[in-house]
Amino acid sequence: MAQATITLYPSRRIATIQPNLYGHFIEHLGECVYGGIWVGEGSPIANTDGIRNDVVQLLRRMRPPVVRWPGGCFADDYHWEHGIGPRAQRRRTVNLHWGETVETNAFGTHEFLRFCELLGAAPYICGNVGSGSPRELRDWVEYCNFAGDSTLAQQRAANGHPEPFRVRFWGVGNENWGCGGNLTPEEYATEYRRFATYLRSFSGTPLTLIACGPSGNDPHWTRRFFTKLGGFPNLQCFAAHYYCGTAGTATNYTVDQWYQLLEQAARMEPLIVQQRAILDGFDPQRRIGLIVDEWGTWHPPAEERNRPLHWQQNTIRDALVAALTLDTFNRHADKVVMGNIAQMLNVLQAVVLTEEDRALVTPTGHVYTIYAPHQGAEAILADFAAEPISYAGGGQLFGLAGSASLRDDRLFLTAVNPHASEPVEARLRLVDGAEARGGEMTTLAADDIHAHNTFEAPETVKPATRPLNVSGRELTVTLPPASVNALSLVL
Supply the residues annotated as catalytic: 175, 294
Q: Are 188 and 214 in contact (CB under 8 A)?
A: no
Q: Give 199-221 as a DSSP string.
A: ---GGG---EEEEEEEESS-HHH
Measured from the CB of residue 27, what is the shortest distance to ligand AHR in angstroms?
5
Nearest CB to ligand AHR, comparing residues 26 and 470: 26
Applying CB under 6 A, does 333 fall inside the site for ligand AHR?
Answer: no
Longest dimension (CA), the chain: 69
Quick one: which segment of 58-66, 71-79, 311-319, 385-393 binds ligand AHR (CB under 6 A)?
71-79
- Which of 329, 324, 338, 319 lies closest to 266, judged by CA? 324
Nearest CB to ligand AHR, comparing residues 142 and 294: 294
Applying CB under 6 A, does 290 fall inside the site for ligand AHR?
Answer: no
205 CB neighbour count, 10 Å cutoff: 17
Applying CB under 6 A, does 318 fall inside the site for ligand AHR?
Answer: no
Rg (CA), the chain: 22
Q: Which of 27, 103, 139, 191 binds ligand AHR (CB under 6 A)?
A: 27
Applying CB under 6 A, does 297 fall inside the site for ligand AHR?
Answer: no
Applying CB under 6 A, does 174 fall inside the site for ligand AHR?
Answer: yes
Nearest CB to ligand AHR, comparing residues 14 and 209: 209
Measured from the CB of residue 449, what is the shortest distance to ligand AHR in angstroms?
25
Query: How buried is 7 (Cβ within 10 angstroms: 0-12 exposed, 13-18 middle, 19+ buried)?
Result: middle
Measured from the CB of residue 138, what is the shortest distance to ligand AHR in angstroms?
23
CA distance 294 to 279: 19
Measured from the CB of residue 448, what is the shortest distance to ligand AHR in angstroms?
28
Quick one: which segment of 69-77, 154-162, 359-367, 471-479 binds ligand AHR (CB under 6 A)?
69-77
Q: Which of 31, 103, 175, 269 binds ligand AHR (CB under 6 A)?
A: 175
Nearest CB to ligand AHR, comparing residues 68 and 317: 68
- Which of 66, 391, 101, 451 lies closest to 250, judged by CA? 451
Q: Which of 19, 36, 71, 132 binds ligand AHR (CB under 6 A)?
A: 71
Residue 409 CA from chain centroid, whole number: 28
Quick one: which segment of 67-75, 84-92, 106-114, 364-372 binds ligand AHR (CB under 6 A)?
67-75
Phi, psi (degrees; rounded to nearest 5) at 277: -65, -40
Binding residues with ligand AHR: total (CB under 6 A) = 10
Applying CB under 6 A, does 83 fall inside the site for ligand AHR?
Answer: no
Measured from the CB of residue 326, what is the shortest distance to ligand AHR in angstroms?
18
Applying CB under 6 A, does 294 fall inside the site for ligand AHR?
Answer: yes
DSSP class of residue 98?
A: T
Measured from the CB of residue 334, what is the shortest distance to ligand AHR in angstroms?
27
- Cα–Cα–Cα angle for 300, 306, 309, rounded to 5 degrees: 50
Quick one: which segment of 66-74, 140-148, 383-391, 424-432 binds ligand AHR (CB under 6 A)?
66-74
Q: Which of 342, 345, 359, 436 binds ligand AHR (CB under 6 A)?
A: 342
Nearest CB to ligand AHR, comparing residues 105 and 343: 343
DSSP class of residue 333?
A: T
Q: Which of 4, 14, 73, 415 binds ligand AHR (CB under 6 A)?
A: 73
Residues 6+ apart with CB under 8 A from 405: 17, 330, 373, 374, 377, 378, 379, 380, 411, 412
Measured from the CB of residue 140, what is the shortest distance to ligand AHR in angstroms?
19
Q: Give 351-380 as a DSSP string.
A: SEEEETTEEEE-HHHHHHHHHGGGTTSEEE
Nearest CB to ligand AHR, comparing residues 14 and 350: 350
CA distance 18 to 380: 14
Nearest CB to ligand AHR, comparing residues 343 and 483: 343
The helix (H) or strand (E) run that includes residue 145 is: helix 134-145
Query: How buried is 472 (Cβ within 10 angstroms: 0-12 exposed, 13-18 middle, 19+ buried)?
Result: exposed
Q: Are 95 and 199 in contact (CB under 8 A)?
A: no
Residue 278 CA from chain centroid, whole number: 23
Q: Are 255 and 420 in contact (CB under 8 A)?
A: yes
Q: Which residues bind ligand AHR (CB under 6 A)?
A: 27, 71-73, 174-175, 294, 342-343, 348
